[in-house]
Amino acid sequence: MFIFLIFFITGCAKSELIIQSIPADAEVSVIDDDGKIKSIGKTPLKIPSDEVFRSSKGFSQIQLTKDNYEPQHLVMGKSSMPTNYEVSVNLKKSATDPKSLEMNSKNEKIAQQIALANSYIMSKKFFEAEQLIARFVQDYPHISVGYDYMGNIYYLKKDYKKALYYYEKGLTLNPENLETKDMVTKLKSIFN
Q: Is pLDDT above 80 for 159? A: yes
Domain boundary among 90, 113, 136: 90
Residue 97 has pLDDT above 80, yes or no: no
- pLDDT, tens digit, 9 for 90 and up, residues 60-95: 788 989 988 888 988 877 766 656 778 889 998 876
How large is the average pLDDT for residues 158-168? Answer: 95
Has residue 24 been placed in a domain? yes
Q: Higher model confidence: residue 32 or residue 172?
A: 172
In a domain, 161, yes or no: yes
Indicate whether 96 belongs to any domain.
Answer: no
**Residue 37: is its pLDDT beyond 50?**
yes
Please indicate, yes or no, if residue 97 is contained in any of the structural domains.
no
The predicted pLDDT at position 49 comes to 78
* Pairing assessment for the beta strands 59-65 and 27-31 based on DSSP bridges: antiparallel
Q: Which domain holds residue 163?
A: 124-191
Supply the CATH number for residue 157's domain: 1.25.40.10
Please, what is the average pLDDT of the chain?
A: 83
The answer to whether position 68 is within a domain reads yes
Domain final position from 68, 90, 112: 90
DSSP string, the chain: -------EEE--TT-EEEEEEESS--EEEEE-TTS-EEEEEESSEEEEGGGT---TTSEEEEEEE-TTB--EEEEEEEESS---EEEEEE--BPP-SHHHHHHHHHHHHHHHHHHHHHHHHHTT-HHHHHHHHHHHHHH-TT-HHHHHHHHHHHHHTT-HHHHHHHHHHHHHH-TT-HHHHHHHHHHHHHH-
Which CATH number fits the domain that encloses residue 73?
2.60.40
> How many domains, the chain?
2
Q: Phi/psi at 63 (nearest 5 deg)? A: -120, 135
Q: Are residues 84 and 128 in the same domain?
A: no
The predicted model scores a pTM of 0.51
Among the listed residues 176, 181, 136, 127, the one whose alpha carbon sits nearest the alpha carbon of residue 154? 127
Which amino acid is it at 176?
E
Strand 37-42 and strand 8-10: pairing? unpaired
